[in-house]
Amino acid sequence: MAYGLLNGKRGIISGALDENSIAWKVALKAKEEGAIFTLTNAPIAMRMGAIKELAEQCNAEIIPADATSVEDIENLFSKSTEVLGGKLDFVLHSIGMSPNVRKGKAYTDLNYDWFKQSIDISALSFHKMMQTAYKQDAINEWGSVVALTYMAAQRTFPFYGDMADAKAVLESIARSFGYKYGKYRKVRVNTVSQSPTPTKAGSGIGGFDKFFDFADKTAPLGNATADQCADYVITLFSDLTRMVTMQNLFHDGGFSMTGISEEVMELITKE
């Protein structure tokens, strides 16, 4: 059911790789709620082709951009405002990748060049997007910027590797830039901390299936799906959440506030 929450709003949605991507679901719901937007992803993701299907469904133009390249991001924002016919109301950062995690490097044996790439792709890219938007004055007053994150920024999950550090930087950038953008144009900036979700990025984390089950059995509501995450992101893009900014918002069925559940106790007792 659609509510017209984004009627007349313009935006940029990054990170839709395939139909499992959280950004893919956000795009479908943003369309349903009346928004117009551009889609973006790394040039390499274009070659995989799926994003073109999404673009057709959403009647959206694709503007490729490597999120580590300021030049690409500048082009993304200037082209988006041109194509959409005005300044933006929302931006989704749904980008994450760690070469160390992907290649199975232990946290005690990191490759530091890859570590820098993890931070650049997964965290600095968020700053680069906002700095570009700020300089181009590309976002309307009361606009909304959202990035996706994971609770490993606050608590340790042994297999999350250097992505935990990247997420901590990402969440800090949301607070620091949220202050500046709030003062400048009343633009709000938040991160959504999502449950483990079976996507390309999620499944790349070692032991993902067990980790997913553990979270599902711990959270009183169970894990939040990508679809439910998209619903939440839409509310943050809407005018209903105008005074929410600089927050890290848990969207995890209560996992982050649960010590242990009866289900997990039972599993441990069985052993």
DSSP 57: H
- Least distance (Å) from ligand NAD to the CB of residue 104? 17
**Interaction with ligand NAD in 129-158: which residues (CB under 6 A)?**
148-150
Q: Counting contacts by CB under 6 A, is residue 191 touching ligand NAD?
A: no
CA atoms within 13 A on the CB side of 88: 30
Sheet arrangement for strand 88-93:
36-40, 10-14, 88-93, 139-149, 188-194, 248-251
187: tokens are 């633009």
- Least distance (Å) from ligand NAD to the CB of residue 172? 15
Q: Please identify the residue of the shown chain whose CB is closest to the bound ligand NAD.
A: 202
Q: What totals of helices (H) and strands (E) does the chain contain, helices first?
A: 12, 6
Instruction: Indicate which single residue of 38, 41, 144, 247 sits in contact with ligand NAD (rule: CB under 6 A).
Output: 41
Q: Counting contacts by CB under 6 A, is residue 196 touching ligand NAD?
A: yes
Determine the residue type at 165: D
Residue with tokens 């490993």: 152
Q: Counting contacts by CB under 6 A, is residue 210 touching ligand NAD?
A: no
Closest CA to 149 of 93, 228, 69: 93
Instruction: Indicate which single residue of 46, 68, 111, 231 sits in contact with ligand NAD (rule: CB under 6 A).
Output: 68
Q: Is 160 a catalytic residue?
A: yes
Instruction: Indicate which single residue of 42, 139, 145, 173 sits in contact with ligand NAD (rule: CB under 6 A).
Output: 42
Closest CA to 257 of 154, 148, 146: 154
Query: Residues annotated in the binding site for NAD(+), as ranges?
Result: 15, 21-22, 95, 167
Q: Contact positions toward ligand NAD, by CB under 6 A?
A: 15, 17, 21-23, 41-42, 45, 66-68, 94-97, 121, 148-150, 194, 196-197, 199-202
Which of the residues are catalytic? 150, 160
